[in-house]
A = this chain, B = another copy of it.
Amino acid sequence: MASALRLRLLLLLAVAAAATGPCAGAGRVDLWPMPASVTRGAQTLLVSRDLKLSTAGSSYADGKGILKEAFQRMVAVVDLDHAINGTYSQGAPVLAGVRVAVRSPNDELNFGVDESYKLSVPATGNPLYAQIEAQTVYGALHALETFSQLCNFDFNANLIELHSAPWTIVDAPRFPYRGLLIDTSRHYLPVPVIKSVIDSMTFSKLNVLHWHIVDEQSFPLQIPSYPKLWNGAYSYSERYTFDDAIDIVQYAEKRGVNVLAEIDVPGHALSWGVGYPSLWPSAACKEPLDVSNDFTFQVIDGILSDFSKIFKFKFVHLGGDEVNTSCWTTTRHIKSWLLQHGMNESDAYRYFVLRAQKIAISHGYDIINWEETFNNFGDKLDRKTVVHNWLGSGVAEKVVAAGLRCIVSNQDKWYLDHLDATWEGFYTNEPLTNIYNPEQQKLVLGGEVCMWGEHIDASDIQQTIWPRAAAAAGMISSICFDLILPALIL
């Protein structure tokens, strides 16, 4: 946490963007991502050591404590680095608290939930309160994050100050899907590390943790329906219980972050066979999963059934990338099955993906698949499919032209494991390139940066994610990105 926070602060200090008014530049504003509209004044306030949260005028009861806990976290972040024990002088106005009015009593974190907010910090008043107005509690969380970025420690007064009041900030995210992928198959990440990643996402207003749970290398998650699956974990202790996963999802939801679970089939699933070897084509040829075996689809059904008790997000990710089908044609019983069903390898790949899609839909999910499924048989995909671009640029325009939804993660720009990918590249990766039709633009749900786990573990994941992920978040969270860019680069 502390190091992630530090990286965030360094970034904020290092890059200064110019904006006052709706994306219009006038002076330096240290906010990240840049809100849609900012006006400010010239008054310095002192922030009370005992900052109050008021919810007068809210329709939202905060029964789960989402707002109250977020407020406490915000205060802790602001106070974190230094002893705050100065004396309040008589002259300077003191900000006594933050008044939050949430209009909707509904706190379900549905996809596309209204995340907009208005934050006002007046320069006068007694008592003096900042004002947050939001349709939902999740917009209010973003407002608290923005508020925290207005606060600075004063090294002479030993107090927190808030400069340039009065402020009026109006904001809403540019895209509804703003993701970060983590990969717990290549390296196990302890639960507290996953939670610290979730915490750090909120600093940049990212809202989807794409949890690439299992892959070839290991199967760390307990699946009650098929209890031998986590025999494919790296070790006894490098595992997540079913309840750990519920805990992670609840932790994320309280912070406005949905968790997108992935099983990557049929290609990236070798570890499944450690517990159930009949999922392998043969002991000598272990992937993709055996397309000819009904048990394969029973296991997928069991996993997705268990998933539906944990992962409440609208979407589940079914992978579908990098499928090398040679084991299917070199294994006698699968080769016979293909002949019997009149399928070639490509047909079988399509058959597998579409059958897995149907299973996911039967459990109430919309599906996300990696782009190879679209590239190979896009017209056959269920209309509930979201195509996840990763191979390169130019894919989103084809996907939305075909009427499907798309998420952008082109590896040349947004793969965090590519250490030579620069923050400028992250920042300038426009998801709507060559998409001009507003209806088609709406089909681009957003973007996602991917922290694949082959070369990172708990000790360096945060340092590898940040600050570059924040550069991408500047692009997908802010409508002002194109005006900020020149100030950043020049």
Interface of A with B (CB < 8 Å)? 1-3, 5-7, 9, 13, 80-83, 85, 153, 155, 158, 190-193, 196, 222, 236-237, 239-241, 243-244, 246-247, 458-460, 462-463
Contact = CB atoms under 8 A, between A and B. Distances in A.
B85 A243 contact: yes
A208 B141 CA distance: 41
A3 B241 contact: no
Contact of A193 (B3, B13, B247, B458): B3
B193 A2 contact: yes
Given A2-B190, A190-B2, A158 B241 contact: yes
Nearest to A155: B239
A193 B190 CA distance: 20
B6 A190 contact: yes
Contact of A6 (B82, B83, B193, B236): B193
A153 B238 CA distance: 11
Contacts of A7: 459
Given A6-B193, A85-B243, 13 more contacts: A1-B2, A5-B190, A9-B237, A81-B191, A82-B240, A82-B243, A83-B243, A83-B244, A155-B222, A155-B236, A155-B241, A158-B243, A459-B462
A5 to B, nearest CB: 8
Contacts of A191: 80-82
Given A191-B82, A463-B460, A237 B6 contact: no
A81 B13 contact: no
A237 B463 contact: no
A85 B246 CA distance: 12
Contact of A458 (B6, B155, B196, B458): B6
A13 B237 CA distance: 10
A462 B237 CA distance: 22
A233 to B, nearest CB: 9
Contact of A80 (B192, B243, B246): B192
Number of copies: 2
A431 to B, nearest CB: 29
A203 to B, nearest CB: 15
Nearest to A194: B2
A3 B237 contact: no
Interface centre among A3, A6, A460 (most CB of B within 10 A): A3
Given A3-B458, A236-B155, A83 B241 contact: yes
A80 B5 CA distance: 21
A196 to B, nearest CB: 6
Contacts of A196: 2
14 contacts: A1-B2, A1-B192, A2-B193, A2-B458, A6-B458, A80-B191, A81-B191, A81-B192, A82-B243, A83-B246, A153-B237, A155-B222, A155-B241, A459-B463
A82 B459 CA distance: 19
Contacts of A6: 190, 193, 458-459
A155 B224 CA distance: 12
Contacts of A241: 82-83, 155, 158
A148 B244 CA distance: 21
A85 B245 CA distance: 13
A190 B2 CA distance: 8
Interface centre among A13, A222, A244 (most CB of B within 10 A): A244
A295 B247 CA distance: 60
A76 B231 CA distance: 28
A5 B459 CA distance: 10
A100 to B, nearest CB: 27
A1 B1 contact: yes
Contacts of A459: 3, 6-7, 462-463
Nearest to A247: B83
Nearest to A246: B83
Contacts of A244: 82-83
A389 to B, nearest CB: 30
A483 to B, nearest CB: 27
A246 B85 CA distance: 12
A424 B305 CA distance: 49
Contacts of A192: 1-2, 5, 80-81
